[in-house]
Amino acid sequence: MTLKKLIHILLVIVFFQVLFFCKKDEGHKNINIEVNNDFYLGADLSYVNEMEDCGAIYKNLNNLETDVFQIFESAGANLIRVRLWHNPSWTNYSNLEDVIKTIQRAKDKNMSVLLDFHYSDTWADPSQQEIPSAWESNLNNDSLLADMLYNYTYSILRTLDSLELSPKIVQIGNEINPMILQKGTLQWPINWTRNSLLLNKGIEAVRNFSDVSHQHIEIMLHIAQPENAIWWFDQASTNNVVDYDWIGLSYYPQWSLYNLSNLGPILTNLRTTYDKKLMIVETAYPFTLQNIDGANNILDSSGLLDNYPASQQGQLNYLTELKRVLKNSGGSGLVYWEPAWVSTPCSTLWGNGSHWENATLFDHQLKATKGMGFYSN
């Protein structure tokens, strides 16, 4: 057989394979077209639109003004995380309109999206899980509240799908160490009859929408600090909260009992005990302890690890080592929280400027820090 004839046969085979798969998928949407990744390297860029509206202009490692999503994509990031508040009347950001803009920018750079439902009008975290004001009248009606959570989750996914902006992964709540959808002072211990009903309704909404839309949208449950994940996922499993794909963790040395030398075994244990994929979806490390604006910095000297100073090199070394520990433990992703929450003339709820400008991946001149290199190291 001549080389020319062999090439012709191979081309015919490829043509019919392409034709077959096109016919197979005809009539089905395939929104998540990003390349599948064995390990996600991400950035939570929820603040970016606001920062740019406040005048921030980001620069890459070569000190060239560059689209911030391009900076992260070029550095090696393949996942963008974005938070969604229900009806944040106190800000024009992190609402659905703003989230749509962020997801579109991520998709334009071929990056996957992790959508973080806070199920609140404001920050949801271990200190508060404030129910959206629109749902407050049903605070004590568990069944009706569960239906509202289901309908809201499903509706958001349907809206994003109609714009071809479906996320790859969905978080059912943010840092849900306490019971979700509470009012005021947190109730302890967790009422698992209520909590499991609500969480499973959110999970059900994602599963049902995935089926209807012929997509595979994965589900994550997110807990702050690995030591809290030990008891939380044990209680969740006991109370039949089991249908999820990812364990998501926040890991900040400032608030954790674990350092980089003893973190690995707990990550391995979580992953293997529950047979789930594991991702650290929030971490950060200061490149300086200097505060340049009127907003106090959240990360300070109490969060510094031995041999990892508050410097650009220290930041890079921390992130590189954390990535190594995570991979060696069988983890599947690492996301930097708010690496672009730089100092601008705008204000937060608590001060003027940024509470994070010393722990972003941009220096005070808005040039990418050495820490950005962890994506490719």
Average pLDDT for the chain? 92
Whose structure tokens read 């009012």? 183
**Pairing mode, if any, of strands 112-117 and 169-172?**
parallel
Size (the chain), residues: 377
Phi-psi label, residue 178: left if phi above 0, alpha if psi -120 to 50, beta otherwise: beta
Lowest-confidence segment of 4-8, 129-133, 201-205 by average pLDDT: 4-8
Q: Which amino acid is at 48?
A: V
The stretch 6-29 carries a mean pLDDT of 39
Q: What is the pTM of this model?
A: 0.90
CA distances from 361 to 50, 79, 284, 298, 368 (A): 17, 16, 9, 15, 6
Lowest-confidence segment of 8-17, 66-75, 227-236 by average pLDDT: 8-17
The yes-or-no answer on residue 34 being catalytic is: no
The yes-or-no answer on residue 73 being catalytic is: no
The stretch 296-318 carries a mean pLDDT of 97
In this predicted structure, the answer to whether residue 12 has a pLDDT above a threshold of 80 is: no
In this predicted structure, the answer to whether residue 297 has a pLDDT above a threshold of 70 is: yes
**Catalytic choice (50, 73, 175, 321):** 175
The stretch 195-215 carries a mean pLDDT of 98
The helix/strand/coil state of 232 is helix
H or E element at residue 192: helix 192-213
Torsions phi, psi of 301, nearest 5?
Answer: -65, -25
In this predicted structure, the answer to whether residue 203 has a pLDDT above a threshold of 50 is: yes
To 5 degrees, how large is the angle CA 170–CA 176–CA 181?
95
Q: According to the model, what pLDDT value does residue 92 have?
A: 96
Q: According to the model, what pLDDT value does residue 99 have?
A: 98
Q: According to the model, what pLDDT value does residue 38 have?
A: 85
Q: According to the model, what pLDDT value does residue 63 have?
A: 97
In this predicted structure, the answer to whether residue 316 has a pLDDT above a threshold of 70 is: yes
The helix/strand/coil state of 71 is helix
What's the rounded Cα separation, in Å, for the pair 195 and 38? Answer: 32
Q: Which CATH architecture fits 34-375?
A: Alpha-Beta Barrel (3.20)
Q: According to the model, what pLDDT value does residue 134 have?
A: 98
Q: 253, 307 in Cβ contact below 8 A? A: no
Q: According to the model, what pLDDT value does residue 146 have?
A: 98
What's the rounded Cα separation, in Å, for the pair 144 and 138? Answer: 7
Q: According to the model, what pLDDT value does residue 37 have?
A: 60
H or E element at residue 290: none
What's the rounded Cα separation, in Å, for the pair 23 and 317? Answer: 49
Phi-psi label, residue 203: left if phi above 0, alpha if psi -120 to 50, beta otherwise: alpha
Instruction: Output the 3-class SS for 194-209.
Output: HHHHHHHHHHHHHHHH
Buried residues in 167-192 as b, exposed as e (16+ CB within 10 A) = bbbbbbbbbbbbbbbbeeeeeeebeb
Whose structure tokens read 């019971």? 179
The stretch 114-118 carries a mean pLDDT of 98
Which tens digits make up the pLDDT trace of 347-364? 999 999 999 999 999 999
Q: According to the model, what pLDDT value does residue 36 have?
A: 45
**Catalytic choice (50, 73, 130, 282):** 282
β partners of residue 117: 84, 172
